[in-house]
Structures are given as structure tokens and as C-alpha cells.
Amino acid sequence: MKKCKLFFLFLVFFTLNNFLLEAQNIKTNGKPTLVIHGGAGTILKENMTPESEQAYHAKLKEALNAGHEILDSGGTSEEAVIAAVIVMENSPLFNAGKGAVFTSEGTNEMDASIMNGGDGSAGAVAGIKTVKNPILAAQVVKNNSVHVMMSGSGAESFARDSGLELVEPSYFYTERRKKQLEKLQKAEKVKEEGSINKWKDYKYGTVGAVALDKDGNISAATSTGGMTNKKYGRIGDSPVIGAGTFANQICGVSGTGHGEYFIRNVVAYDIAARMEYKSVSLSKATEEVIMNKLKAINGGGGVIALDADGNISMTFNTAGMYRGYIQKKQKAKTFIFNVED
């Protein structure tokens, strides 16, 4: 009887432990590996319909499969993160590319960056309005110029000269995002604190991907419309190498959340630096930065991260984060809410 009880307890512990591991930190299944996010925030089950939940899971899976196909056929981590991010940029579900949030002036201004941890190269664009896939603009800055970051019309000219597809700014218009802007502006105008809080999560929703290829190289990419109602040409953390995106030979990180906090705390690089200088694991480093350091100062958000062994961390201090991963010979796994939900 006693033995039976012990076995039962062990079973409960084992199941729970595995569930927690699966939801946040996943032990390696080796190379190749891909992890993605579609933004963090107060994403609650009660605010979603079964159909919208299903739509997010399906699009995250599509993005994971697009990247994984490349990795599986021997492609590079850079190619894989680009493929995954493009799927999400082309979907109105996410705050990147089509579906980007609106600025206070009613425009869509996008930021994106990419870093290849294999050779340390990086590229970024900020405040662009006409490049269909901002992540491709970041990649051409990385590959075709001697610079790391370009902004506004200069970045757009460079993207056009590099052969990228430009679109009319109206391509980025979506009814849903316009309504979010109007509601937030109305609430701010009359200083309805409750309402502002209610709409505050319309500010988030970036996309990102981190991949490890068969050669052991890691790349990270992030793309966003920024934060709803952003003002004065505001640029967030997503195009800032070290803040919203970072990759080296130890790990790769892509962040989402309140960008000002990510910039001030150099979040993506801080995670990599902790691993390098303190010799802590990926899961420990992300926990220290997201759950301790950022949370203590009300910096809402999360990261996806991957180390050179293929260990994954999807850590966030908000109610939810659209996220998922895929590893060798496994099916894509996607999540939306916190483990408690």
C-alpha cells in the first residue's frame, strides 16, 4: 500500500515537472531547433473565442513548419528565422507587417532586426512604412551594407534598391488595429485610468524567431509594429541589437514586451552575458532577467531563447505569450497562456 502511494506521488511529481518543463524550458532534443513568439501581454482565455485561439495556434504552427522545413533540408538558422517571421508578418493576427499597430498619427511604422550568431553579423530597420516584409529589410541591411541600422525613408530606399517588395502604406491597414488606436486615444483623452489599463495590452504583439541549424549556428530575428499610439517617431527595442534581439555562439534571444524596459536593461544581451560570465544555464539566465529583474520594475514582457545545445526557454512575466517550438523529428508545439491557465 505504502509502495503504491509512493509510486503515485512520484507519478504526480513527474507529470507536473514535465508539464512545467514543457511549458517554459525544454531540454534539448538536439539540432536543429526553432522557437518562435507572436507577442506577450495580458492574453487571457476568457478574452478569446475558441476560433481565435485555433487561428493563433494554426498560424504559429505554419510559421514553425516553414522554418523547420528549411532546417530539416540542411538550410541555415538565418534562413529559418526569416521564413518563420515572414509567415507571421503576412498574417493580420500579429503586430508585425500586415496587422501592425497604429501610431498616434494613424500610420503604421515598423521596426525589425536580425542577428546571425555564427558570424556576429546584424542588421536592423526602424520606422519604415512601405516595405512589405520588414524582416527582409533588416536582412539586406545586414548582408548588403556596411551598416547595422537604417531608419525611415533611407531604409526604404535601400530596401527598394536591394530588390525588396514595397507596398502602399494602406496595405498595413487593418480595421481591428485602427479600432484599438481609437479606443486607446479616447481613453487617454479623458484620462479614464481603468480604460487605459483595459486597452494597454493593445500595445504589444511583436513576432520573433530563434533557430539552431545542423552546423550549430544560432540566428535570432524580431519584427514589430511597435506600440499602439506611439508618438514622435518612437522606436522600440525590437530593432535594437542587444535589447530586443541578440545571437552569438552561446545563445540567441528575441524579446517582446514594453520596449523601453528592454532597451534600458539591454535584455537580450543581458541573458547571453549571464550565460557567458556567470556560467548559468539558459533557463536560469532568462528567469533572472525576465522574472526577477524586469518584473521588479514592472517591465512587462517575455523572451524566446535557444542555446547551442538546443535547449529552449520561453519565459514571460505577463499572462500569456503566443509561442511555440519544433525540434528534430517532432511535431510543432504551440502555446498561448501561462502554465496555470
Q: Which of 33, 103, 130, 206 is catalytic?
A: 206
Q: 324: which 3 cell numbers?
A: 511555440
First-to-final CA distance of the chain: 34
What is the secondary structure of 93-113 as a DSSP string? TSSSSTTPPPBTTS---EEEE
Residues in the chain: 341
Q: Is 213 exposed, middle or buried (0-12, 13-18, 19+ CB in 10 A)?
A: buried
The residue from 205, 252, 299, 324 that contacts ligand ASP (CB under 6 A) is: 205
Q: Which is nearer to ligand ASP, 158 or 202 (CB)?
A: 202
Residue 242 in the binding site for ligand ASP (CB under 6 A): no
Residue 238 in the binding site for ligand ASP (CB under 6 A): yes
Q: 149: which 3 cell numbers?
A: 541600422
Q: Which is nearer to ligand ASP, 217 or 317 (CB)?
A: 317
Determine phi and psi for 143, rounding to 5 degrees: -90, -30
Smallest separation (angstroms) from ligand ASP to the CB of 244:
6
The residue from 204, 246, 322, 335 that contacts ligand ASP (CB under 6 A) is: 204
Mark 86-105 with x for binding to ligand ASP (rule: CB under 6 A) and - for no binding. ---------x----------
Restricted to residues 214-233, the positions that interact with ligand ASP (CB under 6 A) are: 224, 226-227
The residue from 32, 36, 38, 39 that contacts ligand ASP (CB under 6 A) is: 39
CA gap 173, 101 in Å, rounded? 9
Residue 259 in the binding site for ligand ASP (CB under 6 A): yes
Catalytic residue check, 49: no
Smallest separation (angstroms) from ligand ASP to the CB of 259:
2
What is the secondary structure of 276-331 as a DSSP string? HHH---HHHHHIIIIIIIIHHTT--EEEEEEETT--EEEEESSSEEEEEEEETTS-
Does residue 223 sit in helix, strand or coil? Answer: strand
Q: Which is nearer to ligand ASP, 117 or 300 (CB)?
A: 300
* Cα 145-148-153 angle, rounded to 5 deg: 75
Smallest separation (angstroms) from ligand ASP to the CB of 255:
6
Residue position matching grid coordinates 476568457: 46
CA gap 221, 211 in Å, rounded? 9
Determine phi and psi for 226, rounding to 5 degrees: 85, -140
Smallest separation (angstroms) from ligand ASP to the CB of 128:
13
The residue from 77, 103, 116, 206 that contacts ligand ASP (CB under 6 A) is: 206
Q: Which is nearer to ligand ASP, 219 or 224 (CB)?
A: 224
Smallest separation (angstroms) from ligand ASP to the CB of 12:
36
Smallest separation (angstroms) from ligand ASP to the CB of 237:
5
Restricted to residues 44-63, the positions that interact with ligand ASP (CB under 6 A) are: none
CA gap 110, 115 in Å, rounded? 17
Number of residues that bind ligand ASP (CB under 6 A): 15
State the catalytic residues: 206
Which residues make up the interface to ligand ASP (CB under 6 A)? 39, 95, 204-206, 224, 226-227, 236-238, 244, 256-257, 259
